[in-house]
Amino acid sequence: MTPYHAKYFAYELTKRNPSDSVQKLVTSLMDAQIDLNPQELDKEIKTCKTEAKKILNLEEKVKAQREIKEMEKKRNELRRNLFSAQDEVDNRKEKLIEEIELRMKQKVYLKELFTINWRLR
C-alpha cells in the first residue's frame, strides 16, 4: 500500500468513525482531574502534628490526635480515589489503543462484482 493510499484509508476511517474515540479519551482525562490533592492535606497534617506536640493539656492533646487521624483517613481516601481514577484512565486509553490497532489491521481488497461489455456501431 502506498503512503497516499494509507492516508486516504485513514481519512475514510476517520470520516466513517468520527473522533468520538478521541473525545472519550479527553473526557476521561478531564474526569480524572478532579481535585484529588493529598499533598495539600499532608502539609496540613504535618502542621497539626507539630502543633499537637506543643499542647500540654491531655484532653486537648487527645482531641488534636483524633482530628489528625480523621485528616489521615481523608488523605488515604483521596489517594485511593486518585489511583482509581488513574487506573480508569489507563484502562480507557488501552481500549482506545486496541480499537485503533484493530482499525489499522483492516485489509482492503478489490473484488470484481460484474463486468460490462459493449460494442460501438
Torsion of CA 41, 45, 48, 50, to 10 degrees: -130
**Mean pLDDT, the chain, whole residue set:** 77
User: Would the pTM of this model clear 0.75, i.e. be above it?
Assistant: no
Which string of DSSP letters, residue by residue, matches 62-113? Answer: HHHHHHHHHHHHHHHHHHHHHHHHHHHHHHHHHHHHHHHHHHHT--------
Q: What is the pLDDT of residue 104?
A: 84
Question: For 80-106, how does the pLDDT look when each residue is reduced to its tens digit (9 = 90+)?
Answer: 888 888 888 888 888 888 888 888 888
Q: Is the pLDDT of residue 8 over 80?
A: no
Question: For 57-83, how does the pLDDT look when each residue is reduced to its tens digit (9 = 90+)?
Answer: 999 899 999 999 999 998 898 888 888
